[in-house]
Amino acid sequence: MKHTLNKESKLTGVKKFDSKKGLKIKPRNLEKYDFPKVDSVVFFNQSFIEKVLKKKLSRKLNYYLEYIMNLLNDDDVEGASIREALNDLSRYRSIVEYKYQEFLEEEFLEEFYRHLDKLEKELKMRLLYQSFSYDEPEEKRRKSR
């Protein structure tokens, strides 16, 4: 059973609402308050949802950009960590497609996917470069008599 609280001068109580398409967010704040416990919040205002999601996706994209740049700049990176980063990017892409695609504009999504494609391409190039550098046979030197 879903309920909503109306913000008024006085808090009159809880009202039921029909399930609509909205963005559901679970609070992650661990501080204790004297207010009732909130398990989740559903937003229905489309412009507010867009602003929140754009900020959230931009923040996460910047995090991945910093993480991948650190991977690419480090010479001692193994292929497993690059594959892990590729898996994280593909997982994040599927999350965005599944959860947030209906709330965001097509132009923003295309630009976001373009940035993800660039990051994936750089990681794949680095992985390919590492596989070629490790596959080269080392010359075996024989002792001459």
**Model confidence pLDDT, tens digit, residues 57-100:** 999 999 999 999 888 888 778 888 889 999 999 999 999 999 99
d(CA 53, CA 23): 9
pTM to 2 decimal places? 0.70
Q: What angle do CA 87, 90, 85 make, to 5 degrees?
A: 35
- Helix (H/G/I), strand (E/B), else coil: 69: helix
pLDDT of residue 137 exceeding 90, the answer is: no
Give the mean pLDDT of the chain.
Answer: 81
- Closest by Cα among 96, 127, 132 to 114: 96
Least confident span in 44-53, 65-74, 127-136: 127-136
> DSSP state, 42?
E
pLDDT of residue 15 exceeding 60, the answer is: no
In sequence order, what E strands does the chain have?
Answer: 3-5, 14-16, 23-25, 41-43
Give me the helix-helix angle, 106-135 and 46-73, nearest 10°.
Answer: 10
**Which pLDDT does position 139 carry in this prediction?**
55
Name the token pair of 30. Answer: 């661990």
Higher pLDDT, 32 or 11: 32
Cβ-based burial of 86 (10 A; exposed 0-12, middle 13-18, buried ≥19): middle
**Residue 3, φ and ψ in degrees, nearest 5:** -135, 165
> Residue holding tokens 């994209």?
61
